Chains A and B, each alone.
Chain A
Amino acid sequence: MSTVKLTVNGKAVAVDVEDRTLLVHLLRDHLNLTGTHVGCDTSQCGACVVHMDGRAVKSCTMLAGQADGANVTTIEGIAKGDELHPMQAAFRDNHGLQCGYCTPGMIMSAIDIVHRHGGQLDEATVRQELEGNICRCTGYHNIVKAVLDAAGRMKVSQAAE
């Protein structure tokens, strides 16, 4: 057992976990942040994507201990109160989700994609960048639309800030 100290969604936490505990299980089982999902166990599907120190990571593929001292943001932490993150709003407005299981990971990856490309995105880039996130419901069509829509919204909201 070890104590892992980290910041999750802006709140400092210290959690006692078995050394073999994965970050996703710390979030789900110890912090009850069940929005982050496990879909494949082999780092393929991306349902578990969270942000660690501002970068998208697959939380099923790292030990909780590796997040010691890190700043982690999950799907529960991106809206500002009742105001949705532009990516969340774009997924809803473009029907970019159906069963919702891949959605948190998709949104967290998509935010990272927009950040890394500075909002300069086209369909081919979005499709290529989403390679690590699998969705079985939407056929990706509306997810791609949502990411492109959100890229525009995020530019606007950044400009406003």
Chain B
Amino acid sequence: MGVEGIGARVVRKEDKRFITGKGRYVDDIKLLGMTHAHFIRSPHAHAKVKGIDSSAALKMPGVVAVLTGQQLVDDKVGNLICGWAITSKDGSPMKMGAWPAMAPETVRFVGQAVAVVIADSKNLARDAAEAVVVDYEELPAVADVHAAIKAGAPQLHPEAPGNQVYDWVIGDEGATDAAFAKAANVVKLDVTNNRLAPNAMEPRAAIADYDAAEEHFTLYTTSQNPHVARLVLSAFYNIAPEHKLRVIAPDVGGGFGSKIFIYPEEMVALWASKKVGRPVKWTGDRTEAFLTDAHGRDHVTHAEMAFDANNKIIGLKVKTYANFGAYMSLFSSSVPTYLYATLLSGQYNIPAIHAEVIGVYTNTTPVDAYRGAGRPEASYLIERLMETAARQLKVDPAQLRRTNFITQFPHQTPVIMAYDTGDFNASLDAAMKAIDYAGFAARKAQAKSEGKLRGIGVSCYIEACGIAPSKAVGSLGAGVGLWESAEVRVNPVGTIEVLTGSHSHGQGHETVFAQLISDRLGIPISQVSIVHGDTDKVQFGMGTYGSRSAAVGLTAILKAVEKVESKAKKIAAHQLEASEADIVIENGEFKVTGTDKAIALPMVALAAYTAHNLPDGMEPGLKESAFYDPSNFTFPAGTYICELEVDPGTGKTSFVNFVAADDFGRLINPMIVEGQVHGGLVQGIGQALLEHAIYDANGQPVTASFMDYAMPRADDVPSFNLSHTTTLCPGNPLGIKGCGEAGAIGASAAVINAITDAIGKNNLEMPATPDRVWRTIHAA
């Protein structure tokens, strides 16, 4: 590797603007004549909208307009869509109720918009919103999945009787039943995967600007995937055709999945900017984020695992109720199905699996992908089951995992996924060594003598990343392909611009992607610019989520660079009067191998653009593009082990050590990879110990600010001990698996396994707050 090439711990190019306050987020942008939007949101979880009286508001100074859901209907603006079609076990399509951007008739969750005030300033819009009178007729509401599917429960959508979206199955039920019939032992577990609020630190925001002369819209938005936003806004919402809509996602302050989706607010801002003839800006506040950013997780599951007499797993049965909230968000349907149940084999040889997933509407904020998206729920379930089994079978939990590890690759699981490579023993060994697993018993005894309950918890996760092979996801119901595109432009002076459809909102693409160019062409990363986040600059792309940007996005860049290299070698050979086959690229020079003849990249680039002396028939210029569609998912995997102490007097948990051994394939920038793991681990620990988006029985949110929702803070979490084992991914030329979600996928089970080990009780729901732990310790 070069000093800035693949594998180098290069500090980030993008940091300077962030540490000096020069980042440019949506809310930092001001346009001439800009108005400000404030949404009027339902305070009720379920109600009829009987009328909206905006007459007093419209008389207030500075108020430009009050727009309602009925006007959206009148203007034939489309409803929000769900982009992944799931088929129930009876062959019927999923049952979806319509989701208008502002509700004209019925509101189905607290925070759903019914109208928007447009005014000269944000304060004036807020003041005027107070003067808008909405006449609601309250309806009975339901927030809990089990309550929602009971006979007589309040019904959300006439299209979905019994509040059921789908009843979906995967796997071989007959084979699984047969395995259970001959099992020596069966382990049973009920778990709830608690609902989380994603809480990117930058609240969502949008600025829409309509140019009446050109009939053209520009949208600045907090998006992880501006091209997908443009596609959806154009194709489904009737806002504008794609060539008349530019979507810009500038610096975006975190996403974690919540900024994948196209939300009502940006649709309304676009529509309103045309109606009022001025730019419209909306910036959400934190409570709006809690009420309207798609939530994550929220599963209730019963699972049973069958073992033979040698402690080998022979079957797994899972039944999961997934709470979708009040409407089906953009990719929500795929999360508890193809992103969850397809990972239920974990790292283990399980010959027979059958899973049933029932998707349920409730009067709560819609639920969709949040860091890990289905895979944390699968990993948590399997790793809690393995721990429960080890306790029931009275074997060491690490050994039980080892007994059941998949060791031969490729491995076809009974739930679609074909794992390409891995070495699960290697990551388990590395983690056990790092935490001194063998010495734990002595440490536990020592802690006991000091009045503390010490526990250790193992979690061996696997995930499917590098999302995703287009043909495969298309066959499973996805409405889009999940390839990525790239363009590499060598300028006449030899500097390089890389245009990518990936989007960086903290991942460090401006550095990591430049490292690949540096590695290939031998130029410093300071001479490479990464261009992203603007549909006018980058032709198309699918954005960033599902740990896909290195495995898919960077591979697309590699494909484009290879084309550039090929043309540049032809030019160099021509200039040096050598054979193209003899040209090698070293330290930014094109050399004739075995000679001292060389020409530097800038001279090759200049030759390409002056076109005075190119090979016959060659087009001028040095710019190439590529689309890359992966052939399979990638399968990052690893082992996390957590050691902690519980104070039996207070139920408070204190970390002693947390080790992570991950196999992400090839690492481009280990410093950035470690940062991704740290952040993911804390989101997983947050779920295990602190975070819970809570609704009361009537659908009122109880946690709608940082005063009520416990975000992990610096003194809640430990420093981490990270290491890597490596099996290169055979599915892409760089051998990359992806690292963005692993921490969030694997951490929560390690924590709960450790606490339950410490307190000697197996059943403990997340978040394991001191109160809940204390009650569990002292329960009969």
Residues of A bordering B, CB below 8 Å: 18, 20, 28, 33-42, 44-45, 47, 74-76, 79, 84, 88, 91-93, 95, 97-104, 107, 123-124, 126-128, 130-131, 133-144
Contact = CB atoms under 8 A, between A and B. Distances in A.
A139 B705 contact: no
B20 A75 contact: yes
Contacts of A124: 715
Given A39-B202, A131-B715, A137-B679, A95 B23 contact: no
Most buried by B among A20, A47, A124, A141: A141
B717 interface: yes
Interface string B106-134: 00000000000000000100000000000
A85 B251 CA distance: 23
A74 B21 contact: yes
Contacts of B20: 35, 75-76, 79, 84, 88
Interface string B432-470: 000000000000000000000000000000000000000
Nearest to A107: B19
Nearest to B28: A34
Interface stretch (B252-260, B354-362, B491-499): B252-260
A39 B286 contact: yes
Contact of A95 (B11, B123, B251): B11
Nearest to B671: A95
Contact of B18 (A38, A39, A41, A103): A103
Contacts of B672: 95
Nearest to B202: A101
B199 A136 contact: yes
B254 A98 contact: yes
B46 interface: no
Contacts of B666: none
Contact of A133 (B675, B714, B720, B743): B714
Given A41-B705, A136-B201, A139-B743, A92 B714 contact: no
Given A39-B202, A41-B705, A104-B21, A134 B719 contact: no
Interface size band for B: 35 or more
B506 interface: yes
Contacts of A97: 15, 18-19
Main secondary structure of the interface of B (DSSP, over half): loop
Nearest to B200: A136
Nearest to A108: B21
Interface-centre pick from B11, B681, B719 (highest chain A CB count, 10 A): B719
B678 A99 contact: no
A141 B253 CA distance: 19
Given A136-B201, A140-B717, A100 B682 contact: no
A99 B506 CA distance: 4
Contacts of B237: none
Given A92-B15, A130-B713, A130-B715, A42 B254 contact: no
A118 to B, nearest CB: 20
Chain A interface, DSSP helix/strand/loop, else mixed: loop
6 contacts: A34-B28, A98-B507, A103-B18, A128-B714, A136-B200, A140-B717
Nearest to A98: B506
Task: Find the residue from A20, A38, A47 having the highest chain B CB count within 10 A.
Answer: A38
A124 B654 CA distance: 12
B659 to A, nearest CB: 13
Given A45-B706, A76-B21, A134 B15 contact: no
A123 B718 CA distance: 10
B200 A99 contact: yes
B19 A99 contact: no
Given A79-B20, A99-B505, A42 B253 contact: no
Interface in B13-35: 14-25, 27-28
Q: Which of B200, B286, B679, B680 has the most CB of A within 10 A?
A: B679
A48 B661 CA distance: 36
Contacts of B471: none
Contacts, number: 177
Contacts of A104: 18-19, 21
Interface string B24-67: 11011000000000000000000000000000000000000000
Contacts of A131: 713-715
A131 B285 CA distance: 21
Contacts of A28: 28
Interface in B94-153: 123
Given A88-B20, A136-B200, A136-B683, 20 more contacts: A18-B123, A34-B21, A34-B27, A36-B21, A40-B705, A42-B705, A42-B706, A42-B707, A44-B711, A45-B711, A74-B21, A76-B22, A91-B19, A98-B508, A100-B506, A123-B719, A127-B715, A133-B713, A137-B675, A139-B720
Contacts of B15: 91-92, 97, 100
A138 B15 CA distance: 14
Contact of A140 (B287, B505, B714): B714
Contacts of A130: 713-715
Contacts of B203: 38-39
A17 B505 CA distance: 33
Contacts of A35: 20-23
B680 A139 contact: yes
A141 B707 contact: no
A148 B20 CA distance: 20
Q: B19, B28, B285, B681: which has the most chain A beta carbons within 10 Å?
A: B19
B402 interface: no
A31 B108 CA distance: 41
Contacts of A18: 123
B123 A20 contact: yes
B773 to A, nearest CB: 21
Nearest to B722: A141
B457 to A, nearest CB: 18
B244 interface: no
A141 B678 contact: yes
Interface in B520-537: none
A41 B287 contact: yes
Interface in B676-694: 678-683
Contacts of A47: 201
